[in-house]
Structure 1
Amino acid sequence: MTPALALGLACILFLWAVLLGIMLAFARFGKEANPPPVLVWWHGGFAITGFLILLYGSFFVGYPMLANIGVALIALAAFFGLWMYFRYHRNDQLIPPVIVWGHGLVAVVGFIMILSAMLNLQNTGHG
């Protein structure tokens, strides 16, 4: 597996996670309620699968530094996501908006860094 392929697969999965994350944010802020669990599970499933591919690539394929920083940011976003789920969602408490925004911002910045690293590998022919 090449670095560009691993990053590309992860980006496809994260794109689905981002789209579902936008739906989750609208569900949370649209009616002052936590989003439906089915959306949470799909969002988490896509994100976890993408993250596992990123980890495999980081350890066994090798990524440029930009991608590795993106992986670290995705890990931080995953921590916030798990915290939201176990601390608030499962306890039927409203998730504070600052946590939702922080999770989304960190995840999107990490995603953009990974996408940028993948596109740079493709353009230089090193992927």
Structure 2
Amino acid sequence: MVCREFGFWAPEDFHAMDGIYELRSYQLHPGKLLEWGQHWKKGVEARRQYTTPIGAWFSQLGPLHCVHHLWYYKNLQERQMSRERAWESEAWAKAVKLTVPLLTHLDAAILRRIG
């Protein structure tokens, strides 16, 4: 799969940190990438105050209509707390409400740095 970075989600000055990473992958309905991106951009801005976004990408070759994004957390407890706080944001809740119908499938994985 070849992916391209979303322009609205500029990558952090990333260097591997201890802690955990959550990789979320969404399969979108064909033709819904731009609509998804417009809504998600607003949600990400709201969510930045609660957690560290690492990056977001969409597929260009290989399986199409796929979106991936990566978040950093110090531990699982911080992940849980930041996700709970994000739901208090109207902008985050609205972005999720508008993007979920555009999905056909969701995968989430917790990753740790090795070494």
TM-score by length of 1: 0.28
| Greater share of strand | 2
Which is bigger in relative contact order (C-alpha 8 A, separation at least 6)? 2
| Greater share of helix | 1
